[in-house]
Amino acid sequence: MRRTIPFLTFQPSRGQRAAEAIALYTSLFEGDRVLSQTFWDPEALPEGLDPAHAEGALMLAEFEVAGQRMRASDTLIQHEWDLTPGVSLWLECDGEDEQKAVLAALGEGGQELMPLGDYGFGMFAWVQDRFGVTWQLALVGETSATDAEVSENL
């Protein structure tokens, strides 16, 4: 079966750590969990990888957040690019209390890109967490009925 799995790449050389991000993400909802994780071995790195940030770095992890399977890794190659708000994770919360709690957890040490408010398609917030991943937080039911309206406004 074909499927799409979001893959997050973190750069320890920029202070980003996949294991720390995954710990935050899997604490958001009951049932969130780490499915597997493999760490880099600093003593057995392939040639060309930077050993300076290998200790505790994840080679590959698979986890679930709100029922969505995701993968993440710490890259040991210094890249010019970084995470961007141009691609974000859309998360539908069950109610405003849950939405506010998730916003507070993800926003700690991060940045609000759009504060919680009604932008014409229900209560919504957009936040960049302290690891650089952006999350769009909506309410279940408020957005699914307005997909056509959202598309129309794009």
Look up the CATH number of the domain holding residue 132: 3.30.720.110
Please report, for residues 58, 112, 114, the alpha-carbon distance to residue 104 in angstroms, rounded to integers and kept in the order given: 26, 10, 13
What are the structure tokens assigned to 136, written together? 């769009």
Look up the CATH number of the domain holding residue 25: 3.30.720.100
**Bridging pattern class, strands 7-10 and 68-74:** parallel
User: What domain range is 49 assigned to?
Assistant: 1-81
Examine the fold and report which residue of 54, 81, 108 is the final residue of a domain before the chain moves on. 81
Pick out the chain residues at pLDDT < 50: 144-146
What are the structure tokens assigned to 54, written together? 């290998």
Residue 152 has what pLDDT? 57
Residues 95 and 140 occupy one common structural domain: yes
101 and 111 Cβ atoms separated by less than 8 Å: no
Residue 96 has what pLDDT? 95
Residues 101 and 152 occupy one common structural domain: yes
Residue 2 has what pLDDT? 87
Residues 90 and 25 occupy one common structural domain: no
Model-level pTM?
0.85
